[in-house]
Chain A
Amino acid sequence: MSVEHVVSFDRRSFMKVATGVITGVIAATSPLAALVPSRAWAVDLGALTDAQGAALLAMIRTIAPHDALDSAAYALVVAALDKDAAASAAVKSDLLTGITTLGVGFAQSPESARIAQLKAIESSAFFQGVRVKTLLVLYNNPIAFAHFGYEGEAFSKGGYLFRGFNDLKWLPEVPLADSGPMPV
């Protein structure tokens, strides 16, 4: 699920009508502001309603809570689940059934209540499916990379050889005999 699924909220009127939508606003000071087309963002859903999307978003935030990580990253996981549901009636049916097991008001309930509810369904295929999708999508997009400080591939920049692979200064340097010289 790529970051291109996060679109400008203003641009939505030009797009085909979706079933549901997740929206948010990125803080003006956030480094993420450069990664998305507009501070006011939206992720369109093809199979899920607004309420179902919101319930899943709350579930994913409970599974992988990073308080300062923008909701746009979590919305990408919802979008990935929504895409799978839109492609298969059976998957959609399972997902919708699963969402009902979260109960009414799940998205609005406090974290402790959400944890208790998820513990009760932890062994279900629904919970495990959402958990695995979260691991696959939440940490593999530019929003997460920027948030956690991961610099990603470096081939396109000449590697890390001259870009900090050995810049740690809070421990002693390693003797040459146990390491090797910088290439000349």
Chain B
Amino acid sequence: MAQFDLNDDSVAVIIGSGAGGGTMAHELTRRGIKVVLLEAGGRLTPADFSQDPGAAFGQLTWLDPRTQSGTWDAAKTSPNMPAWHCKTLGGTTVHWTAATPRLQRYEMEARSTYGDVPGTSLVDWPIDHSELKRWYVLAEKRMGVTRRHGMPGMPACNNFKVMYAGARKIGYKRVHTNYLAINTKARDGRGGCIQQGFCSQGCKTAAKWSTLYTEIPRAEATGHLDLRTRSFATRIEHDVAGRANAVIYRDSQGNEQRQKARLVCVAGNAIETARLLLLSDSARFPKGLANGSDQVGRNYCHHLTSFIWGVFDQPVYAWRGATLAGVVEDENIHNPTRGFVGGYHLELVALDLPTLPLVGMPYGWGRGFTDLIDNYRNLAGMLINGEDMPQANNRITLSSTGKDANGLPVAHIHCDDHPNDIALRNHARQQGTKMYEAIGARQVVTSPGSVATHQMGTARMSKDPSQGVTNPYGRSHEVPNLFMSDGSVLSTPGAANPTLTIVSLALRQAEHITKEMAAGRV
């Protein structure tokens, strides 16, 4: 592995090693560009992944404190940890469940399609759908996605047989075992899925795509990557011309370091990306780096979620098999006669026994609470993934009360449900309930929205610089050598799980950076 000097100002510094940062590290290094990759977490291998759900959670999760407010469910259901992502090499691609749907054209033209929805800050994406589609194809081929480009679909697990029967019974047509970045046959040096059902604990067979064992080792093999784990970025500095020129971080020993940089890519997951920009204020950027528009941290989206559990008379054993291997796509449309704009997916889901009562059920205790758990063998499950409305005041700010281990203010997350959010989630709950009841469920239980696992929008791409933070390449409108390379750049969330879009945009951004460097413009 390469080691670059702290004073080497010819390196690209990438902050974060997940879907965006890990992919970016590979894409730049394979083109011969020197990269310093800073990752706040440590390096694990699949052999290290704990198979105890509680221990696995502790091993992978970003546990630094956060504060929160607002009317969204997570403020009540998960007040101490409103968002759930990873702090480990490979980032959230270590615990993700690998669903890789594409955004639809209407979702990328949200403002034009939905019109003026009061209270929202909807915009259209500054990229055309056909342009993004090109990159989706490249990303899918890179990651290995089921039902695309010759990769067989997942075989139907028990839980999906229930979803399929219920969905068909009420007339849904687009129902299948989902697009998943999980090998169903040996490919790219990794084996096929053995249906463990422990996707969220880290895939011990590495059948599931993660930058941990694909992009990052390949970047290392180029000889152009200087990987620094347990290195926590605390500030991005700039020169008198307003160009980013160094990243301050705490190294694995807790010492402060300053790495000079030719350019900086921030991929800290949308909450931490916004926090880092806000922490990097200066006389020139008094509201935070790249925040002249005051849009950094705003328009935070997280997808509308709710678990739906059907209780049946016969066993399902839903925990057996890949966690998200099923989807109903019929409601991923724009049809305002349903009473809301935007759409949603119904995705298959199962939770291991320890996790079910922690995140999958409505608050409660006593016999009403334990009935569902008593029927654990006979539960079928699905999870709503719906488009939420961007709102200017749904935002990440610096907490006035919480501090991290370095004494820096932690992220504060404020999020209010929009009336459209509530209408969409209620519709999805009703449809999911109908599905299970149509095939004889004796009870259906829906949960409140749980901890946010998709973080988006906090440095969004916008055609008009006053409406966002970055241009169509995720490049700061104000700081020409500063790039955002994660879910923060998504202009609107759509209903698609964001990882495929993040990887696609990173591939596109890497090509842009390479051309701009060659032309001397960055």
In the complex, identify which listed stretch (A26-34, A44-52, A99-107, A139-147) lies at the interface while the others stay far away.
Answer: A139-147
Inside 8 A of B196's CB, which chain A residues have their CB? 153-155, 159-160
- Contact B156–A148 (Cβ < 8 Å): no
A135 interfacial contact with B, CB 8 Å: yes
Determine the residue in chain A with the shortest Cβ distance to B377.
Answer: A149
Inside 8 A of B358's CB, which chain A residues have their CB? 135-136
- Contact B366–A115 (Cβ < 8 Å): yes
Inside 8 A of A136's CB, which chain B residues have their CB? 54, 354, 358
Contact residues of A between 153 and 184, Cβ < 8 Å to B: 153-156, 158-161, 163-168, 170-174, 177-183
- Contact A178–B155 (Cβ < 8 Å): no
Q: Which of A63, A178, A179 has the most CB of B within 10 A?
A: A179
In the complex, identify which listed stretch (B130-138, B161-169, B259-267) lies at the interface while the others stay far away.
Answer: B161-169
**A135 in complex: contacting residue of B152, B155, B161, B357, CB < 8 Å:** B357
Q: Which of A62, A118, A150, A180 has the most CB of B within 10 A?
A: A180
Determine the residue in chain B with the shortest Cβ distance to A160.
Answer: B320
Q: What secondary structure prevails in chain A residues at the interface with B?
A: loop
- Contact A64–B321 (Cβ < 8 Å): no
B86 CB, nearest partner CB in chain A, Å: 19
How many angstroms from the CA of A79 to the CA of B145 in the assembled complex? 46
How many angstroms from the CA of A149 to the CA of B376 in the assembled complex? 8
A24 interfacial contact with B, CB 8 Å: no
Contact with A along B345-365 (1 / 0, CB 8 A): 000000011101110000001
Inside 8 A of A64's CB, which chain B residues have their CB? 365, 369-370, 373
A167 CB, nearest partner CB in chain B, Å: 7
A131 interfacial contact with B, CB 8 Å: yes
Inside 8 A of B205's CB, which chain A residues have their CB? 155, 159
- Contact B321–A65 (Cβ < 8 Å): no
- Contact A183–B185 (Cβ < 8 Å): yes
- Contact A139–B356 (Cβ < 8 Å): yes
Inside 8 A of A118's CB, which chain B residues have their CB? 365
A100 CB, nearest partner CB in chain B, Å: 21
Number of residues on chain B facing chain A (CB within 8 A): 56
Determine the residue in chain B with the shortest Cβ distance to A155.
Answer: B204
A7 CB, nearest partner CB in chain B, Å: 21
Given contact pairs A155-B205, A159-B196, A180-B146, A174 touches B352 in the complex (Cβ within 8 A): no
A66 interfacial contact with B, CB 8 Å: yes
- Contact A178–B365 (Cβ < 8 Å): no
Inside 8 A of B52's CB, which chain A residues have their CB? 140, 153
Given contact pairs A155-B205, A180-B146, A139 touches B354 in the complex (Cβ within 8 A): yes
- Contact A179–B51 (Cβ < 8 Å): no
B184 interfacial contact with A, CB 8 Å: yes
B46 CB, nearest partner CB in chain A, Å: 9
- Contact B376–A179 (Cβ < 8 Å): no
Number of residues on chain A facing chain B (CB within 8 A): 45
- Contact A180–B177 (Cβ < 8 Å): yes
B449 CB, nearest partner CB in chain A, Å: 18
Q: Which of B52, B164, B320, B377 has the most CB of A within 10 A?
A: B320
Given contact pairs A135-B358, A155-B51, A165-B195, A181 touches B320 in the complex (Cβ within 8 A): no
How many angstroms from the CA of A135 to the CA of B358 in the assembled complex? 6
A46 CB, nearest partner CB in chain B, Å: 22
Contact residues of B between 138 and 188, Cβ < 8 Å to A: 146-147, 152-158, 160-162, 164-165, 175-177, 184-185
B51 CB, nearest partner CB in chain A, Å: 4
Determine the residue in chain B with the shortest Cβ distance to A132.
Answer: B358
B172 CB, nearest partner CB in chain A, Å: 11
How many angstroms from the CA of A148 to the CA of B175 in the assembled complex? 30
Given contact pairs A140-B353, A150-B319, A150-B353, A171 touches B439 in the complex (Cβ within 8 A): yes
Given contact pairs A168-B158, A171-B165, A139 touches B353 in the complex (Cβ within 8 A): yes
Inside 8 A of B354's CB, which chain A residues have their CB? 136, 139-140
B53 interfacial contact with A, CB 8 Å: yes
B7 CB, nearest partner CB in chain A, Å: 45
Inside 8 A of B161's CB, which chain A residues have their CB? 166, 168, 171-174
Given A64-B365, A64-B370, A152-B353: 15 more A-B contacts, CB < 8 Å: A63-B365, A140-B52, A140-B54, A154-B196, A155-B194, A155-B196, A159-B193, A160-B194, A166-B155, A171-B161, A174-B161, A178-B153, A178-B175, A179-B153, A180-B177
For the complex of A and B, list the 4 residue pairs with the smallest distance between their C-beta atoms, beginning with the closest.
A159-B194, A180-B153, A153-B51, A140-B354
Can you list 25 residue pairs at the A/B interface with Cβ under 8 Å?
Answer: A63-B366, A66-B373, A136-B54, A139-B373, A145-B353, A148-B377, A149-B376, A151-B317, A152-B352, A153-B196, A154-B198, A160-B197, A161-B194, A165-B321, A168-B158, A168-B162, A171-B162, A177-B176, A178-B153, A178-B177, A179-B160, A180-B147, A180-B154, A180-B177, A181-B152
